[in-house]
Amino acid sequence: MNRRRFLGLCGVAGVGGVTAFTLFDDGVAAGAPGFPRSETDHPRLGESKSAGWTVVSEDAQTVSGGQFGIDVTADVYTTLFSHEGARERVAEQTRGAFDRPVVLASLTRVDLHSYVNVALSVDRLDQQVLPAVESQLADQGVAQVDYEETALAEDLRGIQRTYDVTGTMPVDDLTYDEPDTPDMGPVRVPGFDLSIAGVLALWKSSVGTVYVLGSVYPDESVSKTATRTVEGPDGETREVSEEMALEFDTAAYRDAVISLVK
C-alpha cells in the first residue's frame, strides 16, 4: 500500500474529512478491549499498561458525514504516548544530543452519534475512519509512512484489523562531548534516516465506538562513522574517525506496543 493510500485513509482527525459512514453493523468482536478516559475524554492506558508510557500530545475533533440522507457525527479523541525508557536509552548513548521520543503509540477513540443505530462495518473501517496517526507522528519527525495488512489480529482477542507499519525518522547532525577523552574535540555524527517499524490495530469495542492504535519504533540498531578533532603536541589538528553505535531493542519495543491491546 503506497503513501498516497495511507494519507487518503487517515481522514478522521487533522488530515481531511469523512465522506461516508457505512450504515450496517457486522458485529463487535468478543473481548474487544476498551480504555479509560481522561477528564477531557481522551483515551488513557489502563493502570496495568501505563507503566513507562508518557503522554506527548492530545487532539480532539468532531467530524460529520452521511449516506442515504442520514447524517452521522463522530467525536474523535486521540492521545499520543512516548515510551520513556526507549527515549532515555538513546539520550544516554549520545550524551543527550539525541533526546526525543523514538517509540510512539497513538491511541484514538471514535464515538459515533446518530438518531439511528449506526455502526461501522469492519470491512469499510480501514477505508473511512482511520485516524490521523500520520499527522501526529509527523509532529515527532516520522515520515514516509506506509503499511500492509497482517494476520496478527488472529492472535489478539477482540482486534479486527492489524497492519505492519514502516517509515523513517530523520535525525539531524549530532554533536556531543565525550568526558572520557577530554583531550579530543566533540563527537560529530552526520545526520541520517532512522528506519522505523510499527503496528496499527483497529477494532470496535461497542456499537458506535471504534478504537485505533498506531505505533512506531526503531526497527534496527544503527552504526555510524563519527569524526573528532585531535590536537597534536605542536598545536596541529587532525580529524580522526570512530564508530558510533545506537542500540535499539526492537523486539522489546514491538512487544511493548502489542501488549497495549492484549
* Strand runs labelled E in 88-221: 104-113, 143-150, 161-171, 174-176, 187-189, 192-206, 209-218
Predicted pLDDT of residue 125: 52
Predicted pLDDT of residue 8: 29
> Residue 12 belongs to what domain range?
3-172+195-218+249-261
* Residue 184, domain member (yes or no): no
* Residue 25, domain member (yes or no): yes
Predicted pLDDT of residue 120: 52
* Residue 178, domain member (yes or no): no
* Residue 188, domain member (yes or no): no
Predicted pLDDT of residue 190: 94
Q: Which residues contact 74 (CB under 8 A, 6 or more apart)?
A: 12, 18, 21, 62, 63, 64, 65, 110, 111, 112, 113, 129
Cell numbers found for residue 73: 457525527
* Residue 254, domain member (yes or no): yes
* Residue 226, domain member (yes or no): no
Taking only the tens of pLDDT, the chain with its 262 residues reads: 333 233 323 333 333 333 334 434 446 777 888 899 999 999 999 988 999 999 999 989 887 766 545 567 788 899 999 999 999 999 999 999 999 999 999 998 988 776 554 445 555 555 554 545 667 677 778 888 887 889 998 899 888 889 899 999 999 999 999 888 888 889 999 999 999 999 999 888 887 788 889 899 999 999 999 999 987 777 778 889 989 899 999 999 999 999 999 8
* Residue 125, domain member (yes or no): yes
Note the pTM of the prediction, 2 decimals.
0.82
- Tally the domains of the chain: 1
Q: How far apart are CA 139 and CA 4, in angstroms?
A: 18
Q: How far apart are CA 81 and CA 219, in angstroms?
A: 18
* Residue 177, domain member (yes or no): no
